[in-house]
Amino acid sequence: MDTPATLVDRALSTLRRVVIEGVTPEVDAGRFAIKRCVGDRVRVQADVFADGHDQLCARLLFRRAEESDWQESPMLLIENDRWEGEFEVGELGRYVYTIMGWVDAYGTWAADLAKRAKAGADISVDALRGVELLQVARDRAKGADRQELAYAAERLRELARGNPNVAVDFAQSDELKELTNRNRDFTQDTRYERELPVVVDPPRARFGAWYEMFPRSCTTDAKRPGTFRDCATRLAYVASMGFDVLYLAPIHPIGLTERKGKNNSLTPAADDVGSPWAIGGTEGGHKSIHPQLGTLEDLKGLQRQARDLGLEVALDIAYQCSPDHPYVKEHREWFRERPDGTVQYAENPPKKYQDIYPFDFESKHAAELWEELKSIVVYWAEQGFRIFRVDNPHTKPFAFWEWLISDVKRDYPDVILLSEAFTRPRVMYQLAKLGFTQSYTYFAWKNTSAELTEYFTEMTQTPVREFFRPNLWPNTPDILNEYLQKGGRPAFAARFILAATLGASYGIYGPAFELYENRPIEAGSEEYLNSEKYEVRVWDTNNPNSLKDLITRVNAIRKASAALHGDWTLRFHPVDNEQLIAYSKVSEDFSDMILVVVNLDPRNRQSGWVSVALKDLKLGENQAYQVHDLLTDARYVWHGSINFVQLDPSILPAHIFRVHPIG
């Protein structure tokens, strides 16, 4: 057993006086990575303190995960033991960071020396203590540092004897402080106990406008399903509205067994085309293309033409099969059987999907299944596709996604995975932590000012924002909410502007959205009448009443407004009318400031007084400022925080103001 004296000796031999805690950002004690995009700066804060009154130093250490050498960035004391530093993530992939802190013996001495000199005390003896510190650092140093420290020690000794005031100035040199810190006793450094991960994605992961489309509906005749070549003729239409991502519903062969008819009928007609999510047939499965759509080369040609127009094509990943999928015949062990020997089809009561078989991720053959499913993503990545919308990820094991995403992004760090998980909040957040780049949200069902304010404050102003990137969709092929059903064109316009300005990333399911398709299959349902999931639809994209012009205008505003390229500066401003909502976003340097006011009532004109939080826009209490409506080009001069607005939804349900300070 160690004696008390031995314990003291051991403690002194590893004496680390600095404590590091309260590190942010940090997700679940470093279990999961924070998310950033190429070129971002990661701002890190921590509480760094020690016993006594000595001065401290702290450094932020960072490196690419696969490298061994650390880079350093200084941390500065910002308030009461709280320190801050930052570093840039310049490449795709993974980084790690941690913090180092130590007692700055030389800096403490130099500061104390200056205080004594200012008080008129004799500092000749105190100056010699500095000489000793420099000599100790010299003995540890090598090369040029050793020579500089030797010179500094002798110079300080000379000044202490002859000119103490000059000695004080000499001791305060920042270069000398850095030199001593660089050659300190590293055994007394405190290093934060964790190395914290960062996933670095392409800029499109943070900002982009998505447009969802069924390829087979790119046609002028419902009896002739569209092809990839037909889709190519619609690219100019999508690009002209300013979208960045064209997301295609599943492009694979569709099964015949238990095929659904129009409006989800269980008795399809001979010419019914079935649901694209009932994947697989005699022509192949998840790595095959429906022969009516064209060939792989046709798809690649569509991608090339899209890129020429500034669009990226996103594909759908749906891990499920039709009864006719080759997997069902070749790997029956990957599916769950019912007691009667039939394969269990998918259900989400009261909904039944007789045409879809889910995989059994817990079968005895799960390892082979997991590898095969990963190979699907890898196959399409090898074909040049990097953006994927993932269907129902919350119905597959968390461990599966963590493994798959980590493996895929190791070889394809630019892959973007959008999680279509309309499920419980904790499940959505867990999927984001596990690696999904973006996620669908509950935006479609948040319709009041209070609901929107609470929800978006949670996503943008709490630690959730470090790992959860929202992608806002006012409609999908599965979601036609009551607000859109009953609000008509003004409701579609309002929800579009909300999605496009509340979120840096958003999407619409079109052309159903811009043509404000709002007929449910029955009262109380969110399913569309004549749903495109089960039939080919012919859309009149030249309809003069389309929302196309509004969409084009707003997307142009988004691209020209740095403030709208992120989510973290979102702030809400009080309005005395609950039918109105007001919020702002600013660029990092405040050179671009956007203030949005939306009328949430699609039927009636609404007015009210907006209480602009001036500090959020760096405006003075009595300062005049111009608000320029980017939708109408109207300009108004506002004074102070309280200002009047009035919006008629039959004309335009919103203002998108750019704020210009005056004076």
290 CB-contact burial (10 Å; exposed 0-12 / middle 13-18 / buried 19+): buried
The partner residues of 59 in beta bridges, in order of sequence, read 74, 100
SS3 at position 221: coil
Residue carrying the six token digits 């238990």:
258
Strand pairing of 312-317 and 387-391?
A: parallel
User: Reduced to 3 states, what is the DSSP secondary structure of residue 564?
Assistant: helix
Rounded-to-integer distance, Cα 7 and Cα 21, Å: 26
Question: Quick check: helix, strand or coil at residue 84?
Answer: strand
How many residues comprise the chain?
A: 663
145: Cβ contacts below 8 Å, ≥ 6 apart: 179, 182, 183
Number of H helices, E strands in the chain: 15, 29
Residues carrying an active site annotation: 391, 420
Token pair belonging to 588: 């990092």
In angstroms, rounded to a whole number, what is the distance separating the alpha carbons of residues 506 and 528?
A: 21
- Which residues are CB-contacts of 109 (< 8 A; sequence separation ≥ 6)? 126, 129, 130, 133, 171
Residue tagged 């406008």 (tokens): 209
CA–CA gap between residue 244 and residue 203 (Å, rounded): 12
DSSP 112-173: HHHHHHHTT---HHHHHHHHHHHHHHHHH--HHHHHHHHHHHHHHHHHHHH-HHHHHHHHT-
How far the first Cα of the chain sits from its last, in Å, is 76
Q: Looking at 336-438, list the stretches that DSSP marks H as alpha helix, in order from N- to C-terminal side.
A: 366-382, 398-411, 425-434
Backbone angles phi, psi at 630, to 5 degrees: -75, -10
